[in-house]
Structure 1
Amino acid sequence: MRLFFTFLLVTFCLNLSWGQQHNTSKTYVAPTDAKVQAKLAQWQDLKFGLFMHWGTYSQWGIVESWSICPEDEGWTQRRGPYASDYNTYKKAYENIRTEFNPVKFNPEKWVMAAKAAGMKYMVFTTKHHDGFAMFDTKESDYKITDPKTAFAANPRSNITKEVFNAFRKENFLLGTYFSKPDWHNENYWWPYFPPKDRNVNYDPAKYPERWQKFKNFTYNQISELMSGYGPVDILWLDGGWVRPKNTIDPSVDWQKAITFEQDIDMARIAKMAREKQPGLIVVDRTVAGEFENYTTPEHTVPDQPLDHPWETCMTMGDSWSYVPNDKYKSTNQLIQLLVKIVSRGGNFLLNIGPSPEGDWAPDAYQRLEQIGNWMNVNGEGIYNSRSVAPYAYKNIYYTQSKDQSVIYAYYLSDKEQVNLPATLEIPLDKINQVKKVSLLGSPEKLKWQYQGNKLRVQIPGKLQKNNNLKQAAGFKIEY
């Protein structure tokens, strides 16, 4: 069956990661719970995390969930032998689980690669919009551990538990991605009506008992994840169209299409989740208010620091989920993204989609290894850092230590090898004096002059070229 879908690559992988962009909420409400505040502060210091989109859709190498959504968008189009009839396609899609058998699944391999890259937290897709649970839910038989699923007989079939246990052992903060909409559940897409788009296909106000069943279903599944999988740090909720109608932003196209009230009762969910997981960060993304503890600009790096905690989520390849022969961003691109995001006070959540066999592509491991090599030299200006004006100057990006005694200036290279100028000019704002300037990873003493809010650093000839510096050079400025 998988061979039928190999040809989808050329047309289907294009723009997959860009098609479902989520707008960032315009307002922010800071949490008042002291434990949540502390966990949020801890998370902000970590800066670099791993995201993983993985489900039965990986078997066909197609976009996650969206091909069963009856919307006429580039990323929702159906292709393959069942594409001509929606109901036939959806039935075949839901039957992918009989093929999905990731026998190479080894989360310990993933965690060691992520740790070596300098990642400090992880968010895993426990359930995407299609409703297939990558955990042993008691609320549905559409799950990885059900006997109809090929992987169910494997002793590690409860994939979410195995992933969480592996990453927890290496002291990662753990995030549970969970989709609020569930396109498999009969109380979200009621079979009596055909689905029209991504939204609920009936009016919850007209059928309140049915909607209440869906609310209870959602509550119960989240309760399972909060009580049966050890300590969890982040509840990362996707599907922002499931929201109170009074929170809709009419300036956002996809929110204008929300016809019905879809209040899932986040107060009840958050209360339960935090009783089980004290200090839990809740990210009800794009739904501004007390349950969006940080915002999640998707494939976007803000031009200026934001006035609240935030995280850019982005794919390493072109797609969120596995696509054969996906094109991965270069190490240069990834490190520059990390530096730019951190210079504006954000975190970088970098996504890798595991294959149907349960492993990452060799390119993904290579990128992580190279990022790790760079972080081993330059990470001190990334972790626990803060944004500092002027934030950026040409190809130089700034961070600051928490105690405000050090500024780090990262000189980004457009090539893998860094070539430095003989004199590097680094503008600095509101600094009385500079005590010491050094190049991270180099024992060479640097000569410098600070005058008129500008630091001029003299670069010795042997450091200008052939200096073994890759991607970006980090200058440590103590003042």
Structure 2
Amino acid sequence: MLVIPKIKPFLLSSFLISSVVFSQAHNVSDGYQKPTDPLVVQNLDQWQDMKFGLFMHWGTYSQWGIVESWSLCPEDESWTQRKPEHGKTYDEYVKNYENLQTTFNPTQFNPQKWADAVKKAGMKYVVFTTKHHDGFAMFDTQQSDYKITSPKTPFSKNPKSDVTKEVFNTFRKEGFKIGAYFSKPDWYSDDYWWPYFPPKDRNVNYDPKKYPERWENFKKFTFNQLNEITSNYGKIDILWLDGGWVRPFHTIDPKVEWQRTIKVEQDIDMDKIGTMARKNQPGIIIVDRTVPGKWENYVTPEQAVPEHALPIPWESCITMGDSFSYIPNDNYKTSQKIIETLVKIISRGGNYLMNIAPGPNGDYDPIVYERLQQISGWMNKNQSAVFATRAIAPYHEGNYYYTQSKDHHTVNVFHLDEQSEYKAPEVLTFSIPVNFKPKSLKILGLSSKIQWKKTAGDALEIKLPEERKNLKYATVIQIIQ
């Protein structure tokens, strides 16, 4: 993916969409355009109900345990440093990287195992990297031999070698919405990084206006691969397009540092791509991330959570470990941290797309399954406060976070305590949303009768029973009017 594996927190003013630069080099695009196609609107509403999704970055790079494709990029960044043992010169490094195709053999690949584990943890949609910036296709493209199904790749002999098909079919069977991640830039393509010139940075290494035939070939190549994905892989609900530097020059936001590095026109013709994708997949959500306009159906803050509610569809993509791609002995977040992040995101109206990276053997680290099992225990008790909900003011006050049912009859209040392992207090006091008239309430996961009363200033005071000591990660109060 993405640009930097670790980032600092960022701030968003309430309902502020424009002029915000994230420290990890992504921004919420100015000028959001609400889709008008009724099927897209319906799909987007269903997607907003789902709240919790699985992101998977996987490719030949997992064998080296490095930051996805980024070490191929000749930009001098600390997080893209190449290891000397992988090549002493840039050209040698690229050759060795591309040669990873000849050793990629993830024989433990079993998408049903993944689907079973993440479904129990409450995830309801999946976004899988069909192709990252390095150009290696994790699907059976006919446009290139740099792919997992090529005879050059050992795994091509496996009956499940088209891993994109296997992932999509397996997760679709389990009721997931299906998302295809696809990188618009392709650093393997001679029509993007033309071998006549050395690559200078992440951008195309020639001027497409000066060499329009070559750029036209790249546009056709991109169109054809996306046509394959949206034609040959069953129902697809989301087309998640990364590599926002491939964009019309006039859409560049000079306030965003990485966009200022774009010096040439890189219009990939999203109208043609989007029209084709909608013809192949009616109602498909298209996320041309960071490029404002009709093809960015939701926005995608990365590795961070906006501090306030946003009035447009959005999704935070955040790693379970420190990296989007597999790294041995990664530092995986605790279950409490994951649940706290989910609560913050849904209280502000967003979705949580949590990335889990398979290793070179084709499976997750064992600790991932432990985390998912722990999350599933919490989700079993509290899911009614999570799914098919929307944001409601005051959204967040102190340690309290709010959601509401879509029919507005139920308000859910989450109490968190991020200082230590969660322990529910004896008394909870919090504001009631304006014009909401509580008639009854319960604590999800507790069977005891709950004592509660309204206090001055439209607040509720709840006395929790001794049974509260059984609550893990959060206390969830469900109030009905």
Please state if 1:36 is matched with 2:40: yes
Give, in angstroms, the shift of residue 74 of structure 1. 1.4
Please give the alpha-carbon distance, in whole angstroms, between the structure 1 residues aligned to 2:84 and 2:106. 22
Give, in angstroms, the shift of residue 416 of structure 1. 7.3
Give, in angstroms, the shift of residue 432 of structure 1. 4.9
CA contact (8 A) 1:235 1:282 kept: yes
1:280 partner letter: I
Structure 1 residue runs of 5 or longer lacking an equivalent are 1-14
Please give the alpha-carbon distance, in whole angstroms, between the structure 2 residues aligned to 1:249 and 1:37. 27
CA contact (8 A) 2:423 2:472 kept: no
CA contact (8 A) 1:431 1:453 kept: no
Give, in angstroms, the shift of residue 336 of structure 1. 0.1
Higher mean C-alpha deviation, range 174-183 or range 23-32? 23-32
CA contact (8 A) 2:138 2:162 kept: yes
Give, in angstroms, the shift of residue 21 of structure 1. 4.2
CA contact (8 A) 1:332 1:416 kept: no
SS in 1 for 2:430: strand
Give, in angstroms, the shift of residue 22 of structure 1. 2.0
- Structure 2 CA distance for partners of 1:364 and 1:155, relative to 1, 3 Å: same
Please state if 1:299 is matched with 2:294: no
Please give the alpha-carbon distance, in whole angstroms, between the structure 2 residues aligned to 1:321 and 1:468. 35
SS in 2 for 1:471: coil
> Which digits, 9 at most, give the CA deviation of each residue in 1:77-97, with x for residues without a partner?
111324431011001000001
Please give the alpha-carbon distance, in whole angstroms, between the structure 2 residues aligned to 1:96 and 1:119. 31
- Structure 2 CA distance for partners of 1:297 and 1:100, relative to 1, 3 Å: same
TM (norm. structure 1) is 0.95
Q: Quick one: which of 308, 333, 336 aligns to 1:332?
A: 336
Please give the alpha-carbon distance, in whole angstroms, between the structure 2 residues aligned to 1:421 and 1:142. 57
Q: Quick one: which of 138, 148, 151 aligns to 2:152?
A: 148
Please state if 1:60 is matched with 2:64: yes
1:153 partner letter: K
CA contact (8 A) 1:415 1:471 kept: no
Please give the alpha-carbon distance, in whole angstroms, between the structure 2 residues aligned to 1:432 and 1:337. 26
1:62 partner letter: I
Q: Quick one: which of 436, 446, 453 aligns to 2:458?
A: 453
Give, in angstroms, the shift of residue 20 of structure 1. 5.3
CA contact (8 A) 2:25 2:258 kept: no
CA contact (8 A) 1:428 1:453 kept: yes
CA contact (8 A) 2:424 2:471 kept: no
Please state if 1:16 is matched with 2:5: yes
CA contact (8 A) 1:332 1:415 kept: no
CA contact (8 A) 1:17 1:315 kept: no
1:456 partner letter: E
Q: Quick one: which of 290, 293, 305 aligns to 1:286?
A: 290
Please give the alpha-carbon distance, in whole angstroms, between the structure 2 residues aligned to 1:98 and 1:432. 62
Q: What is the aligned residue count?
A: 462
Counterpart of 2:361 in structure 1 is 357
Give, in angstroms, the shift of residue 415 of structure 1. 6.7
Please give the alpha-carbon distance, in whole angstroms, between the structure 2 residues aligned to 1:432 and 1:105. 50
Counterpart of 1:469 in structure 2 is 471
Counterpart of 2:133 in structure 1 is 129
Please state if 1:70 is matched with 2:74: yes
Counterpart of 1:424 in structure 2 is 428
Please give the alpha-carbon distance, in whole angstroms, between the structure 2 residues aligned to 1:191 and 1:443. 68
Please give the alpha-carbon distance, in whole angstroms, between the structure 2 residues aligned to 1:192 and 1:455. 70
> Which digits, 9 at most, give the CA deviation of each residue in 1:342-368, with x for residues without a partner?
000100000000000000001111111
Please give the alpha-carbon distance, in whole angstroms, between the structure 1 residues aligned to 2:378 and 2:49. 18
Counterpart of 1:12 in structure 2 is none
Q: Quick one: which of 84, 97, 101 aligns to 1:80?
A: 84
CA contact (8 A) 1:131 1:182 kept: yes
1:380 partner letter: S
Counterpart of 1:186 in structure 2 is 190
Please give the alpha-carbon distance, in whole angstroms, between the structure 2 residues aligned to 1:337 and 1:396. 13
Give, in angstroms, the shift of residue 75 of structure 1. 1.7
SS in 2 for 1:342: helix
1:204 partner letter: P
SS in 2 for 1:282: strand
Counterpart of 2:173 in structure 1 is 169
Please give the alpha-carbon distance, in whole angstroms, between the structure 2 residues aligned to 1:63 and 1:416. 31
Give, in angstroms, the shift of residue 431 of structure 1. 2.8
Q: Quick one: which of 203, 210, 220 aligns to 1:206?
A: 210
SS in 2 for 1:221: helix
Counterpart of 1:253 in structure 2 is 257
> Which digits, 9 at most, give the CA deviation of each residue in 1:245-269, with x for residues without a partner?
0000000000000000000000000
Higher mean C-alpha deviation, range 366-375 or range 230-239? 366-375
